[in-house]
Structure 1
Protein backbone atom coordinates (compact mmCIF):
# COMPACT_ATOMS: atom_id res chain seq x y z
CA UNK A 1 0.00 0.00 0.00
CA UNK A 2 1.23 3.51 -0.86
CA UNK A 3 1.71 5.96 1.97
CA UNK A 4 -0.07 9.26 1.32
CA UNK A 5 -0.50 12.12 3.76
CA UNK A 6 -3.82 13.84 3.13
CA UNK A 7 -4.11 16.85 5.41
CA UNK A 8 -2.56 18.53 8.42
CA UNK A 9 -4.84 20.20 10.95
CA UNK A 10 -3.03 22.14 13.69
CA UNK A 11 -4.50 22.04 17.19
CA UNK A 12 -4.11 25.37 18.99
CA UNK A 13 -4.56 25.85 22.74
CA UNK A 14 -7.12 28.43 23.83
CA UNK A 15 -8.09 29.61 27.32
CA UNK A 16 -11.19 31.73 26.67
CA UNK A 17 -13.88 30.70 24.19
CA UNK A 18 -15.27 34.21 23.72
CA UNK A 19 -11.81 35.66 22.98
CA UNK A 20 -11.07 32.79 20.60
CA UNK A 21 -14.29 33.38 18.68
CA UNK A 22 -13.70 37.14 18.59
CA UNK A 23 -10.22 36.59 17.13
CA UNK A 24 -10.75 33.66 14.76
CA UNK A 25 -14.33 34.36 13.62
CA UNK A 26 -14.87 38.11 13.95
CA UNK A 27 -11.32 39.25 13.12
CA UNK A 28 -9.83 36.58 10.81
CA UNK A 29 -13.12 35.58 9.17
CA UNK A 30 -13.15 31.87 9.99
CA UNK A 31 -16.42 29.95 10.29
CA UNK A 32 -17.19 27.64 13.20
CA UNK A 33 -17.70 24.18 11.70
CA UNK A 34 -18.51 22.39 14.95
CA UNK A 35 -18.05 22.53 18.73
CA UNK A 36 -17.76 19.63 21.17
CA UNK A 37 -17.85 19.25 24.95
CA UNK A 38 -18.02 15.90 26.73
CA UNK A 39 -20.45 17.54 29.17
CA UNK A 40 -21.71 21.12 29.66
CA UNK A 41 -18.88 22.15 32.02
CA UNK A 42 -16.10 20.34 30.14
CA UNK A 43 -13.48 22.18 28.06
CA UNK A 44 -14.42 23.10 24.50
CA UNK A 45 -12.89 21.51 21.39
CA UNK A 46 -13.92 23.12 18.11
CA UNK A 47 -13.09 23.33 14.45
CA UNK A 48 -12.87 26.60 12.52
CA UNK A 49 -12.17 26.98 8.84
CA UNK A 50 -11.73 29.51 6.10
CA UNK A 51 -11.38 28.28 2.53
CA UNK A 52 -9.09 25.27 2.62
CA UNK A 53 -7.54 26.18 5.99
CA UNK A 54 -8.83 24.18 8.97
CA UNK A 55 -7.77 24.73 12.59
CA UNK A 56 -8.78 22.93 15.76
CA UNK A 57 -9.03 25.08 18.89
CA UNK A 58 -8.94 23.35 22.25
CA UNK A 59 -9.36 24.27 25.91
CA UNK A 60 -8.09 20.79 26.89
CA UNK A 61 -4.71 21.21 28.62
CA UNK A 62 -3.21 18.04 27.13
CA UNK A 63 -4.06 18.83 23.50
CA UNK A 64 -1.49 21.55 22.82
CA UNK A 65 0.80 24.12 24.38
CA UNK A 66 0.19 27.84 23.98
CA UNK A 67 2.68 29.63 21.76
CA UNK A 68 2.44 27.40 18.68
CA UNK A 69 3.57 28.71 15.30
CA UNK A 70 1.58 27.74 12.19
CA UNK A 71 3.08 28.40 8.73
CA UNK A 72 0.39 28.77 6.03
CA UNK A 73 0.94 28.99 2.27
CA UNK A 74 -1.84 30.92 0.54
CA UNK A 75 -2.66 33.42 -2.18
CA UNK A 76 -4.07 36.86 -1.49
CA UNK A 77 -2.00 37.86 1.57
CA UNK A 78 -2.33 41.57 0.80
CA UNK A 79 -6.10 41.23 0.36
CA UNK A 80 -6.38 39.39 3.68
CA UNK A 81 -4.27 42.10 5.30
CA UNK A 82 -6.54 44.85 3.94
CA UNK A 83 -9.64 42.95 5.07
CA UNK A 84 -8.55 42.41 8.66
CA UNK A 85 -6.86 45.78 9.23
CA UNK A 86 -10.07 47.50 8.11
CA UNK A 87 -11.79 45.86 11.09
CA UNK A 88 -9.68 47.86 13.55
CA UNK A 89 -9.01 45.00 15.96
CA UNK A 90 -7.60 46.69 19.05
CA UNK A 91 -5.00 44.09 20.06
CA UNK A 92 -3.00 43.62 16.84
CA UNK A 93 -1.89 45.65 13.84
CA UNK A 94 -0.22 43.18 11.45
CA UNK A 95 1.96 44.19 8.54
CA UNK A 96 3.00 42.41 5.36
CA UNK A 97 6.73 41.89 4.93
CA UNK A 98 8.94 40.37 2.26
CA UNK A 99 10.83 37.36 3.60
CA UNK A 100 14.25 35.89 2.87
CA UNK A 101 12.50 32.83 1.38
CA UNK A 102 10.87 34.96 -1.34
CA UNK A 103 7.36 35.39 -0.01
CA UNK A 104 5.09 38.03 1.42
CA UNK A 105 4.30 37.20 5.03
CA UNK A 106 1.72 38.53 7.46
CA UNK A 107 2.10 37.31 11.04
CA UNK A 108 -0.74 37.48 13.53
CA UNK A 109 -0.66 36.37 17.15
CA UNK A 110 -3.85 35.22 18.81
CA UNK A 111 -4.83 36.10 22.40
CA UNK A 112 -3.17 32.86 23.59
CA UNK A 113 0.26 33.58 22.01
CA UNK A 114 -0.25 31.24 19.04
CA UNK A 115 1.24 32.71 15.87
CA UNK A 116 -0.20 32.29 12.38
CA UNK A 117 2.13 33.12 9.49
CA UNK A 118 0.21 33.72 6.26
CA UNK A 119 2.66 33.43 3.34
CA UNK A 120 2.36 34.03 -0.39
CA UNK A 121 5.12 33.09 -2.81
CA UNK A 122 6.64 35.87 -4.89
CA UNK A 123 7.11 34.56 -8.42
CA UNK A 124 10.41 35.01 -10.27
CA UNK A 125 9.07 38.03 -12.17
CA UNK A 126 8.42 39.79 -8.84
CA UNK A 127 4.66 39.27 -8.85
CA UNK A 128 2.72 37.34 -6.24
Structure 2
Protein backbone atom coordinates (compact mmCIF):
# COMPACT_ATOMS: atom_id res chain seq x y z
CA UNK A 1 0.00 0.00 0.00
CA UNK A 2 1.29 3.43 -0.90
CA UNK A 3 1.45 6.44 1.38
CA UNK A 4 0.28 9.85 0.26
CA UNK A 5 3.90 11.02 0.34
CA UNK A 6 4.94 8.14 -1.95
CA UNK A 7 2.13 9.03 -4.37
CA UNK A 8 3.26 12.67 -4.46
CA UNK A 9 6.83 11.54 -5.09
CA UNK A 10 5.60 9.34 -7.96
CA UNK A 11 3.81 12.35 -9.48
CA UNK A 12 6.99 14.43 -9.20
CA UNK A 13 9.04 11.70 -10.92
CA UNK A 14 6.42 11.29 -13.66
CA UNK A 15 6.40 15.00 -14.33
CA UNK A 16 10.22 15.13 -14.53
CA UNK A 17 10.31 12.11 -16.84
CA UNK A 18 7.71 13.65 -19.19
CA UNK A 19 9.55 16.98 -19.23
CA UNK A 20 12.71 15.16 -20.38
CA UNK A 21 10.67 13.99 -23.38
CA UNK A 22 9.33 17.50 -24.03
CA UNK A 23 5.86 16.54 -22.79
CA UNK A 24 5.33 19.02 -19.98
CA UNK A 25 2.33 18.47 -17.69
CA UNK A 26 1.19 20.43 -14.68
CA UNK A 27 1.70 19.08 -11.18
CA UNK A 28 -2.06 18.57 -10.78
CA UNK A 29 -2.18 16.54 -14.03
CA UNK A 30 0.68 14.35 -12.79
CA UNK A 31 -1.20 13.80 -9.52
CA UNK A 32 -4.35 12.82 -11.46
CA UNK A 33 -2.35 10.33 -13.56
CA UNK A 34 -0.76 8.75 -10.48
CA UNK A 35 -4.17 8.48 -8.82
CA UNK A 36 -5.50 6.58 -11.85
CA UNK A 37 -2.41 4.33 -11.88
CA UNK A 38 -3.14 3.45 -8.26
CA UNK A 39 -6.75 2.58 -9.13
CA UNK A 40 -8.51 5.68 -7.83
CA UNK A 41 -11.08 7.79 -9.69
CA UNK A 42 -9.14 11.04 -9.15
CA UNK A 43 -6.52 12.67 -6.93
CA UNK A 44 -9.04 13.84 -4.33
CA UNK A 45 -10.25 10.28 -3.82
CA UNK A 46 -6.69 8.92 -3.77
CA UNK A 47 -5.46 11.46 -1.24
CA UNK A 48 -8.44 10.82 1.04
CA UNK A 49 -7.98 7.04 0.92
CA UNK A 50 -4.20 7.14 1.21
CA UNK A 51 -4.46 9.42 4.22
CA UNK A 52 -6.77 6.88 5.92
CA UNK A 53 -4.40 4.01 5.23
CA UNK A 54 -1.47 5.84 6.76
CA UNK A 55 -3.21 7.34 9.76
CA UNK A 56 -1.86 5.55 12.81
CA UNK A 57 -4.50 3.51 14.62
CA UNK A 58 -6.14 5.15 17.58
CA UNK A 59 -5.00 3.36 20.72
CA UNK A 60 -7.75 1.48 22.49
CA UNK A 61 -7.96 -0.18 25.86
CA UNK A 62 -7.81 -3.98 25.68
CA UNK A 63 -7.86 -6.56 28.44
CA UNK A 64 -6.37 -10.02 28.59
CA UNK A 65 -7.89 -12.86 30.57
CA UNK A 66 -7.94 -12.18 34.30
CA UNK A 67 -5.94 -14.43 36.60
CA UNK A 68 -7.76 -15.04 39.89
CA UNK A 69 -5.68 -15.09 43.07
CA UNK A 70 -6.90 -17.57 45.69
CA UNK A 71 -5.75 -17.66 49.28
CA UNK A 72 -4.03 -20.78 50.53
CA UNK A 73 -2.60 -21.63 53.94
CA UNK A 74 -0.71 -24.88 53.47
CA UNK A 75 1.61 -25.66 50.57
CA UNK A 76 1.27 -29.45 50.84
CA UNK A 77 -2.56 -29.30 50.85
CA UNK A 78 -2.55 -26.80 47.97
CA UNK A 79 -0.33 -29.05 45.87
CA UNK A 80 -2.43 -32.14 46.69
CA UNK A 81 -5.66 -30.42 45.68
CA UNK A 82 -4.64 -28.27 42.72
CA UNK A 83 -1.86 -30.37 41.17
CA UNK A 84 -2.74 -33.95 42.08
CA UNK A 85 -6.54 -33.76 42.14
CA UNK A 86 -7.42 -31.00 39.65
CA UNK A 87 -4.47 -31.69 37.35
CA UNK A 88 -2.91 -28.22 37.21
CA UNK A 89 0.78 -27.71 36.42
CA UNK A 90 3.12 -25.28 38.13
CA UNK A 91 4.03 -22.24 36.01
CA UNK A 92 6.15 -20.53 38.65
CA UNK A 93 6.86 -20.39 42.39
CA UNK A 94 7.93 -17.31 44.32
CA UNK A 95 9.09 -16.66 47.86
CA UNK A 96 10.88 -13.53 49.02
CA UNK A 97 13.08 -15.76 51.22
CA UNK A 98 13.11 -19.34 52.43
CA UNK A 99 10.37 -19.99 55.02
CA UNK A 100 8.29 -17.01 53.83
CA UNK A 101 4.82 -17.37 52.24
CA UNK A 102 4.54 -19.04 48.84
CA UNK A 103 3.05 -17.39 45.74
CA UNK A 104 2.31 -20.11 43.19
CA UNK A 105 1.21 -19.77 39.56
CA UNK A 106 -0.60 -22.78 38.12
CA UNK A 107 -2.39 -23.56 34.86
CA UNK A 108 -4.37 -26.19 33.06
CA UNK A 109 -5.71 -26.10 29.49
CA UNK A 110 -5.83 -22.30 29.28
CA UNK A 111 -7.04 -21.69 32.85
CA UNK A 112 -4.54 -19.83 35.02
CA UNK A 113 -4.77 -19.39 38.78
CA UNK A 114 -2.45 -17.89 41.36
CA UNK A 115 -2.36 -19.29 44.87
CA UNK A 116 -1.02 -17.06 47.61
CA UNK A 117 -0.13 -17.65 51.24
CA UNK A 118 0.29 -13.86 51.68
CA UNK A 119 -2.48 -12.56 53.95
CA UNK A 120 -2.98 -9.34 51.94
CA UNK A 121 -3.37 -10.93 48.50
CA UNK A 122 -6.79 -12.55 48.78
CA UNK A 123 -9.50 -13.50 51.20
CA UNK A 124 -10.36 -17.11 51.89
CA UNK A 125 -13.79 -18.18 50.71
CA UNK A 126 -13.58 -16.78 47.17
CA UNK A 127 -15.48 -18.23 44.23
CA UNK A 128 -14.12 -18.45 40.69
CA UNK A 129 -16.56 -19.06 37.84
CA UNK A 130 -14.93 -20.93 34.91
CA UNK A 131 -16.83 -21.33 31.61
CA UNK A 132 -15.68 -24.49 29.85
CA UNK A 133 -16.47 -27.26 27.38
CA UNK A 134 -16.74 -31.05 27.93
CA UNK A 135 -17.65 -30.81 31.59
CA UNK A 136 -18.56 -34.52 31.70
CA UNK A 137 -14.94 -35.43 30.90
CA UNK A 138 -13.73 -33.32 33.81
CA UNK A 139 -16.29 -34.89 36.17
CA UNK A 140 -15.28 -38.39 35.10
CA UNK A 141 -11.59 -37.56 35.55
CA UNK A 142 -12.10 -36.11 39.04
CA UNK A 143 -14.38 -38.89 40.23
CA UNK A 144 -11.90 -41.45 38.92
CA UNK A 145 -9.20 -40.08 41.23
CA UNK A 146 -11.19 -41.07 44.34
CA UNK A 147 -10.09 -37.92 46.18
CA UNK A 148 -10.75 -38.35 49.90
CA UNK A 149 -12.24 -34.89 50.42
CA UNK A 150 -14.80 -34.70 47.64
CA UNK A 151 -16.27 -36.33 44.59
CA UNK A 152 -17.92 -33.51 42.68
CA UNK A 153 -20.80 -34.14 40.33
CA UNK A 154 -22.59 -32.07 37.69
CA UNK A 155 -25.66 -30.10 38.72
CA UNK A 156 -28.02 -28.75 36.05
CA UNK A 157 -28.62 -25.04 36.64
CA UNK A 158 -30.74 -22.58 34.68
CA UNK A 159 -27.61 -21.27 32.95
CA UNK A 160 -25.99 -24.63 32.20
CA UNK A 161 -24.24 -27.62 33.73
CA UNK A 162 -22.15 -26.80 36.78
CA UNK A 163 -19.42 -28.79 38.53
CA UNK A 164 -18.29 -27.20 41.78
CA UNK A 165 -15.15 -28.05 43.73
CA UNK A 166 -14.07 -26.76 47.16
CA UNK A 167 -10.39 -26.39 48.01
CA UNK A 168 -8.99 -26.99 51.52
CA UNK A 169 -8.98 -23.21 52.19
CA UNK A 170 -12.69 -22.48 51.66
CA UNK A 171 -12.39 -21.33 48.04
CA UNK A 172 -14.75 -22.65 45.36
CA UNK A 173 -14.27 -23.16 41.64
CA UNK A 174 -17.50 -23.41 39.65
CA UNK A 175 -16.84 -25.02 36.29
CA UNK A 176 -19.78 -24.31 33.99
CA UNK A 177 -20.79 -25.48 30.55
CA UNK A 178 -23.51 -23.29 29.06
Q: TM-score, normalised by structure 1?
A: 0.92
Which residue number in structure 2 is paired with residue 35 of structure 1?
93
Higher RCO (Cα < 8 Å, 6 or more apart): 1
Which residue number in structure 2 is paired with residue 63 of structure 1?
121
2: distance between equivalents of 1:12 and 1:38?
19
**Contact 2:142–2:151 (Cα < 8 Å) also in 1:** no
**Contact 2:87–2:108 (Cα < 8 Å) also in 1:** yes
Does residue 1:110 correspond to 2:173, yes or no? no
Shift of 1:76: 1.2
Deviations 1:105-126 (A, max 9, x none): 00000000100000011xxxxx
Which residue number in structure 2 is paired with residue 125 of structure 1?
none
Unaligned runs of 5+ in 2: 1-58
Shift of 1:63: 0.1
Shift of 1:99: 0.8
Number of corresponding residues = 120
Shift of 1:41: 1.3
2: distance between equivalents of 1:53 and 1:118?
11
Structure 1 or 2, whichever has the larger Rg, is 2
Structure with the larger strand share? 1
Does residue 1:50 correspond to 2:108, yes or no? yes
Deviations 1:55-104 (A, max 9, x none): 00000000000000000001011100000110000111211011111x11
1: distance between equivalents of 2:92 and 2:140?
28
Unaligned runs of 5+ in 1: 122-128
Please state whether the residue corresponding to 1:78 is helix, strand or coil: helix
1: distance between equivalents of 2:65 and 2:132?
15
Structure with the larger helix share? 2
Q: TM-score, normalised by structure 2?
A: 0.66
